[in-house]
Amino acid sequence: MTGNRNLRVAAIQQTCSDDKTASLDTSERLVRQAASEGAQLVVLQELHATLYFCQTEDTSVFDLAEPIPGPTTDRLCALAGELGIVLVGSVFERRMSGVYHNTAVVVETDGSLAGIYRKMHIPDDPGFYEKFYFTPGDATCNDGRNGFTPIDTSVGRLGVLVCWDQWYPEAARLMALAGADLLIYPTAIGWDTTDDPDEQARQLDAWVTVQRGHAVANGLPVIAPNRVGTEPDPSGQSAGIRFWGNSFICGPQGEVLSRAEEHQEAVLTVDIDQHRSESVRRLWPYLRDRRIDAYNDILKRVRD
């Protein structure tokens, strides 16, 4: 982390459209608002440049994918460099013909690309047919690093993960063990519009709780921006997804520092005490007391 005690961070919750330029215009407007409020680190939601196209399987959608660097990263790099912020964005990446990723990009204050993270856990559920579009990230990167490796920036080591990754304690733990200062989860999650209110409440509560649990178990702040708004199913097979917003930022004991509503765009801006994780870990030394000699079975699909 940087030398200053407080780091001002922002999570962006936005609506998206089928016009990539318009969606990026919205992202830029909200990022500028966050920077005007003093944010040094700004995090955008998953796939913020497009509609959430994974509600159906359509090969023409691959035309939306871009290389890295490419038009979207060029725009994000220029914006971060102009504002002097560290910016986390999201790209539907075309790595090569037939290999596409759901990729988070991290841009430094000078506009350079600090690093990327390719989503490792890929869902395949009704309305979330991501395995059709995305190849999982590499378990080992080209430079020999584990895929769950923080990205070094001027504001700290960022443990960037993406959406479905947020349900897996292993991913959060590996980022923590590799020295992450923050856990970051760009997200696109919402309700089937036919779900009853009780089921909606259970799903939302589970989503918030599991990520607060990662904060507690690892003694790290969590930034979780989610999209908002109802997006129709292009195939007409369902009523679409109502993205539930509720973006939030919490501290290293899971304490909620800021949380958005479910119906509208939002910029959450808070100060994070950069020394608090050290204090918390001294009182709650989970990492000290791990029984690494007894965890071999975690590498098995199931225990026999």
The CA-CA-CA angle for residues 184, 185, 189, to 5°, reads 165
Contact 191, 241 (CB under 8 A): yes
Identified catalytic residue from 119, 250, 262, 265: 119
Identified catalytic residue from 108, 163, 231, 265: 163
Contact 196, 152 (CB under 8 A): no
Write phi, then psi, for 138 (nearest 5 degrees): -75, 135
Q: Enumerate long-range contacts of 30-38, CB under 8 Å, 24 or more apart.
A: 30/265, 30/267, 31/79, 31/83, 31/85, 31/87, 32/79, 32/83, 33/267, 34/10, 34/85, 34/267, 34/269, 35/83, 35/84, 35/85, 37/8, 37/10, 37/267, 37/269, 38/8, 38/269
Query: CA-to-CA distance for 131 and 125, rounded, in angstroms?
Result: 9
Contact 15, 26 (CB under 8 A): yes
Identified catalytic residue from 46, 93, 108, 231: 46
Contact 160, 167 (CB under 8 A): no
Contact 166, 184 (CB under 8 A): no
Catalytic-residue membership of 163: yes
Catalytic-residue membership of 131: no
**At which residue do the structure tokens 């509208």 appear?**
264
Catalytic-residue membership of 108: no
Which residues are the active-site residues? 46, 119, 163
